[in-house]
Amino acid sequence: MFSEIFFDRMKQMLGEEWDAYQRAMEEPPKKGVRLNTLKADKETLQRTLPFPLNQTPFSPLSFSAPDDFHPGRHPLHHAGAFYSQEPSASSAVTVLDPQPGEKILDVCAAPGGKSTQIAALLQGKGLLWSNEVVRSRCQVLLSNMERMGVRNAVISQAPVPLLAEKLSGFFDRVLVDAPCSGEGMFRKNDRALLEWSPEHVTACADRQVQILLSAAECVREDGVLVYSTCTFSKEENEGAVRRFLQQRPDFVQEDTGVSFGRPDFDTGLGRRIFPMDGGEGHYVVRLRRVSPAADGPAPFLIRKTKGTERKLGEDFLQETLRDVPKGMMDRLFMQKDKLLLLPDFLPDLGGLPVLRAGVEVGQIRKDRLLPAHGFYMACRPQELRHVLAYPWDSPLIPHFLHGEAVPWDQKGFAAVAIEGVTVGFGKGDGHMLKNHYPKGLRLPAAVL
């Protein structure tokens, strides 16, 4: 049986710690939440979540959650104040260490846990490029980035070699959280254990090396490449890194700068996390490029929106925002019938399958602009002129999230906020606020 082969491999790997691993595997999977500082602060979570915030060692934004916590039932989850994430899954971005103003590439980004963590650390400054080759997963990524209020991102569905060709030498930091055999997730997914095989491990390792080789082309000189997996196998972890470095000696491995988990089995510079280390199962290593890189792509030339579309966009921003930041109007861009607000540092997008660049402001329909949910989600209430504010335990919140109209004594578009966190918007008629919460996100009636 394949699972017996897996356990034999783990016994050999862990030696005297095998019994501790077995005991840990009998415990419930770890649960956690990660604060989204783009939309909320720690005090907001402390005030509203039904458990104390105990920080995990894997990220200052990550907190343990009890087994009986159901994030989808909490209104601040829908508002994007936090992301539901197993604590040790935040370790790779901690090692990546994004800094505001940098250009960051997340190569295998869906469903968005690591990309939204990167976005929170960038604090709206710089550029985040989040890529996912599987289209269905790319849509999930886009939805999560929108919920978490990310303004400065590009979402693409590109094969990694195409990114290497078009975005060579462009990024300060690149994250490869590679598809793997998922051995670290067996405590959460019994079926994954039954489907495991040595052949699958080998195939994953081969694919990981190829992804790394392509992703490396996107790193600038002296830039950082972080490789991570959620598996235990040496072939996919230390072995994949050794194979990569043999082919790219212009990259050097450096210390991760963290103390969680334990040193890897090769150089000791990478980190491994086992269930007995307080997480599920992860491996992370940090590499630096020491060779010159290509000049990178040309900048994206924004064709300034003119005429009716531009006026509609300018009027909406001036009516909606308390203060329109300098240069914002110049980043308005029409894509078919949608008006976008493009991020800074955008490279030439020619030949790249981009699903979204920046934030959708709204859809142009004849002589009017219908605002987009994503625009409001990317704004904090204090930035907006018109806000309908609720405490987190208001009985009207489930009704709004179900798509119902709620009382509002003003006219025009207004954001809806929960504890100072925007969750959606609607249009008032002087008595009620007509709901514009997207149908695909609405809570079922059974939750009311």
Q: Return the H-helix or E-strand segment holding 46.
A: helix 42-48
Q: Among residues 108, 180, 218, 230, which one is catalytic?
A: 230
Separation in Å, CA 298 to CA 140, 167, 168, 171, 214 = 29, 9, 11, 13, 20
Q: What single letter denotes the amino acid at residue 250?
A: D
Contacts with 31 (C-beta within 8 Å, 6 or more apart), sequence order: 64, 65, 66, 67, 69, 84, 86
Choose among 234, 124, 230, 136: nearest CA to 185: 230
Host H or E run for residue 206: helix 198-216
Give the CA-trace dihedral at 138, 425, 387, 335, to 10 degrees: 60
Cβ(289)–Cβ(222) below 8 Å: yes
Task: Write the burial class of residue 258 (CB in 10 Å: 0-12 exposed, 13-18 middle, 19+ buried).
Answer: middle
Q: Single out the residue of 8, 2, 59 nearest to residue 32, CA to CA.
A: 59
Q: Residue 29 gets which letter from DSSP?
A: P
CA 237 – CA 313 distance, rounded (Å): 49
Is there a contact between 84 and 93 (Cβ–Cβ < 8 Å)?
no
Crossing angle for the helix pair 113-122 and 135-147, to the nearest 10 degrees: 40
Q: Look at residues 167, 265, 258 and name the one whose alpha carbon lies nearest to residue 217.
A: 167
230 has catalytic annotation: yes
Sequence-distant (6+) residues with CB within 8 A of 171 are: 103, 104, 105, 129, 218, 219, 220, 223
Q: What is the DSSP string of 375-440?
A: HHHTS-GGGBS-EEEE-TT-TTHHHHHTT--EE--SEEEEEEEETTEEEEEEEEESSEEEE---GG
Q: Cα–Cα distance between 375 and 79 in angstroms, integer? A: 13
Helix (H, G, I), strand (E, B) or coil at 369: strand
Q: Is 88:280 a contact under the CB 8 Å cutoff?
A: yes
How far apart, in Å, do the first and last CA atoms of the chain sit?
46
What amino acid positions are annotated as catalytic residues? 230
